[in-house]
Structure 1
Amino acid sequence: MGYLVIGHITRDVTPAGDFVGGTVAYSGRAADALGCQTAVLTSCEPEYEGLKQLAPLAVEVVPAANTSTFENIYGEDGRTQMLYTVADKIRPEHLPLAWRQPAVVHLGPLTNEVAPAFMRHFPHSIIGLTPQGWLRRWTVDGRVYATEWPEAEQYLPLADVVILSEEDLLNDEMLPRYRRLSKLLIMTENLRGCTVFAEDETRQIPAPRVTQVEPTGAGDIFAAAFLVQFARNGRNPWQAAEFANFIAAQSVTKIGLDAKIDLIQSLQHEKNYSIT
């Protein structure tokens, strides 16, 4: 099965050093670990060392002068997210011809870099959105803030699956509006699991209890696991959500991208969570 993920790979600045980040890294590696032929369309500096983390995948880079670089700063008022440099926009004309018919397309913007028009280019694919990057902007000095996505009404109905974090919600009106616009909406709820809104039915799917060690990338890993299983199990959203909860919950018990991916690969043979 072909899994294509589009968005910026990032350099994440932390007190422990710089690490590779971005939906393309975590979702892409997770889809690969779950047995998919996986491709990444991204933009960054061509020599960015973080690209080595995508070595198992097919990667197309839109060359940029900068790599998108984030830092999360924690203080008495909570978290402040900074965006220091931004890579280039990613548009449909950047898509290699050989990548036009994947089973799953995952649009994972982080800096409003992914053209929503991609949704019109894959008529035979399952299109999944993690829209957080369309819901953020930043000030001149790089401080990131949440905002409305003005094109939501136009593009959400074109997606097969929309996966939204409860942390993405800007107000009480946003969830019912996105639910109305989306064919299938999943709201992730951290350690509590997720809520699935499918047509007229709503179910809260609990996650297994684990000891959380590092939550980085859990939302992106959830998204990849959901979309992969959704494509493989006849588009059953309830079973896909249960599977994604399990995979994401296990990922937070490990530190670092490689350790999380190694664990996911080992779970392929888990008796009750077969991905075949």
Structure 2
Amino acid sequence: MSLEYLLIGALTRDRTSTGWQQGGTGTFAARALAACGIATTIITPAHAKIIFDLPSNSTLVRLPSRATATFENRYHGDARTQWLHAAPTPLDWANLAPHWQQASLVHLAPLAQELTTIPPRKVFPQAMIGLTAQGWLRHWDSSGRIQPKRWQPTSTELAQIDALVVSDEDVGGDVQLVAGWAQHCGLVAMTQGSHGATIWVNAQAQHVAAYPVSVSDPTGAGDVWAAAWFWRIQQGSSALQAADWACQQAALHISGQLV
């Protein structure tokens, strides 16, 4: 089986003011990539009874889980307050089927501690590995309210991945923290909402401007940005060119033009 784009992480069932909505990095990445004709395979822990709506060219691999990840988001401009109402069962890297390890691009997308570690490089020997680390940059209290958490990867762990994306919200705007990670990971990006993104290439920072649009719904914009960036880099674009394209795709998404 050909694996153009393999994403590993929780698809979610999110609570909104108008009812339930499907979410998770895989949802937004698959929809954005499908609009460009790119097929995705998603490995997710989820309850067997939950039905997910994905593009026709997406393949879903569901792992047994005690629950489906369930979030609630409330927005105030670019900022949001978030709650976790249900957490999925963590994934064990030893349980990966051999054919999944043949992917040419792997996007690790932890949201609720369902991925506990960065896998050893030998797990995906042929792949460019991208990581959106938001699930490791937060924890939740007894009410489920999500709070920032300091992630302290080792230089060895960072060297296992090719590209890392976080948001300024994930790190509380701590640019120096992200710049420190860029000393050990060749490609790092910090998305900054309507202010665009800062990328580090071999520890050298550059800013990429956002495309101004009227915002319909900002949920998933960072996921779209990351998926677009990873894909374009894997296809041979420079990190800067890929970041500009990622900003375009994120703008289409938040304006409601990318469905």
TM-score above 0.5, yes or no: yes
Q: Specify which structure has the higher proportion of helix.
A: 1
The reply to whether residue 229 of structure 1 matches residue 232 of structure 2 is yes
Whole-Å separation in 2 of the counterparts to 1:136 and 1:228: 26
Whole-Å separation in 2 of the counterparts to 1:200 and 1:68: 34
Once structures 1 and 2 are overlaid, which stretch shifts more, 157-166 or 88-97?
88-97
The reply to whether residue 195 of structure 1 matches residue 198 of structure 2 is yes
CA contact (8 A) 2:148 2:171 kept: no
Whole-Å separation in 2 of the counterparts to 1:31 and 1:92: 25
Equivalent position to 2:137, from 135, 138, 147 = 135
Aligned to 1:104: 105
Letter aligned with residue 184 of structure 2: L
Letter aligned with residue 199 of structure 1: N
Whole-Å separation in 2 of the counterparts to 1:74 and 1:195: 23
CA contact (8 A) 1:41 1:95 kept: no
The reply to whether residue 80 of structure 1 matches residue 81 of structure 2 is yes
Whole-Å separation in 1 of the counterparts to 2:190 and 2:153: 19
Q: 1:79 to 1:125 in 2, by over 3 A?
A: closer
Shift of 1:60: 1.0
Superposed, 1:15-94 pairs within 5 Å as 15-49=17-51, 51-53=52-54, 56-73=57-74, 79-94=80-95
Shift of 1:16: 0.8
Encode CA deviations 1:136-188: one digit per residue, 9 max, x unaligned: 11122312111112335442221110111111114464122222232111111
Whole-Å separation in 2 of the counterparts to 1:116 and 1:157: 13
Aligned to 1:95: 96
Letter aligned with residue 230 of structure 1: I
Letter aligned with residue 130 of structure 2: G
Aligned residues: 253
Superposed, 1:163-242 pairs within 5 Å as 163-170=165-172, 171=174, 173-232=176-235, 234-242=236-244
Whole-Å separation in 1 of the counterparts to 2:56 and 2:143: 33
Q: Which runs of 5+ in 2 are unaligned?
A: none
The reply to whether residue 250 of structure 1 matches residue 255 of structure 2 is no
Shift of 1:105: 0.4
Letter aligned with residue 26 of structure 1: F
Q: 1:214 to 1:32 in 2, by over 3 A?
A: same
Aligned to 1:260: 258
- Equivalent pairs: percent with the same residue? 32
Encode CA deviations 1:52-71: one digit per residue, 9 max, x unaligned: 33654111111112111111
SS in 2 for 1:26: helix
CA contact (8 A) 2:217 2:254 kept: yes
Letter aligned with residue 101 of structure 1: Q
Q: Which runs of 5+ in 1 are unaligned?
A: 262-276
Whole-Å separation in 1 of the counterparts to 2:69 and 2:203: 39
The reply to whether residue 146 of structure 1 matches residue 144 of structure 2 is no
SS in 1 for 2:212: coil
Letter aligned with residue 24 of structure 2: G
Encode CA deviations 1:227-251: one digit per residue, 9 max, x unaligned: 111111x251011111111111111
CA contact (8 A) 1:10 1:21 kept: yes
Once structures 1 and 2 are overlaid, which stretch shifts more, 184-193 or 17-26?
184-193
SS in 2 for 1:181: coil
Whole-Å separation in 2 of the counterparts to 1:235 and 1:140: 44
CA contact (8 A) 1:111 1:133 kept: yes
Whole-Å separation in 1 of the counterparts to 2:113 and 2:17: 26
